[in-house]
């Protein structure tokens, strides 16, 4: 009986020690965890920083831009049309005249006029819009109302204005609104932009003549020439310089080689 009592007492004592040990061992992690949290919270929490500088470079051009998916322009409510809607104040060379044409992507249109005898200079650019100093990406958004145009300088002693109009009508489809082939957008609309009343009169007369030859309504706009914004340098004489694939196309006068619109 005494042996049983001793065993019971020993068992109770062992149980008490075990409980004390468990209690003691459980309390340490919480104390340590509490210290760790306190230590961690005393340091400022930082997140990884990107050390690369922000780039504002705009890629020169890609096919998505040609389809109208370029970088979005600024808030249209901030656009001031006063300057871009003013008259073109550039002057042609002595004895020369200007005219602007919009007939789709300006690359092929420019090459067509480069080949005309009596044309002394061509430039591609943006006109008839609402944004001052537009970029190619701005125009491709379709929110600035600019048209891709070619400004043609010609010698009226060697090249008649009517000759240029014939090239214009033959170069594109004037019945498709805001579209030429796969190029879709307001920047591809058909337009003749005149500098003199004589140019306007001749343009309207030839439009009437062309309308008699077509079974669809011509949508070409005939308007006074507005401020001309010269396009980025890589657009100038694009096809003559090799285009997208590096194959130069002839800009020789009277050349009638087929024009590959994108090079």
Tokens (6 digits) for 75:
């808030």
d(CA 170, CA 7): 117
- Among 73, 104, 100, 77, smallest CA distance to 199 is for 100
Helices (H) and strands (E) in the chain, counts: 6, 8
105 is catalytic: yes
The helix/strand/coil state of 204 is helix
d(CA 167, CA 204): 15
Q: Are 98 and 90 in contact (CB under 8 A)?
A: yes
Question: Vertex 138, ends 177 and 97: CA angle to 5°?
Answer: 70
Q: Which of 105, 140, 159, 261 is catalytic?
A: 105
Which sequence positions are flagged as catalytic? 105
């Amino acid at each position: 009986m005494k042996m049983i009592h001793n065993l019971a007492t020993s068992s109770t004592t062992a149980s008490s020690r075990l409980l004390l040990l468990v209690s003691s061992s459980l309390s340490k992690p919480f104390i340590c965890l509490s210290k760790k949290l306190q230590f961690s919270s005393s340091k400022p929490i930082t997140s990884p920083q990107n050390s690369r500088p922000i780039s504002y470079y705009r890629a020169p051009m890609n096919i998505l831009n040609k389809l109208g998916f370029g970088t979005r322009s600024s808030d249209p409510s901030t656009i001031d049309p006063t300057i871009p809607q003013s008259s073109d104040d550039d002057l042609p060379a002595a004895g020369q005249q200007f005219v602007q044409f919009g007939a789709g992507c300006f690359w092929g249109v420019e090459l067509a006029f480069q080949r005309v005898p009596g044309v002394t200079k061509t430039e591609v650019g943006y006109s008839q819009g609402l944004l001052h100093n537009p970029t190619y990406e701005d125009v491709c958004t379709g929110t600035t109302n600019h048209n891709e145009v070619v400004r043609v300088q010609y010698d009226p002693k060697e090249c008649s204005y009517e000759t240029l109009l014939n090239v214009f009508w033959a170069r594109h489809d004037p019945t498709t609104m805001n579209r030429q082939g796969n190029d879709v957008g307001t920047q591809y609309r058909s337009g003749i932009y005149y500098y003199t009343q004589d140019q306007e009169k001749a343009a309207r007369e030839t439009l009437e003549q062309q309308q008699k030859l077509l079974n669809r309504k011509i949508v070409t706009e005939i308007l006074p020439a507005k401020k001309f914004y010269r396009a980025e340098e890589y657009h100038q004489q694009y096809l003559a310089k090799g285009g997208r694939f590096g194959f130069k196309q002839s800009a020789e006068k009277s050349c009638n080689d087929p024009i590959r619109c994108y090079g």
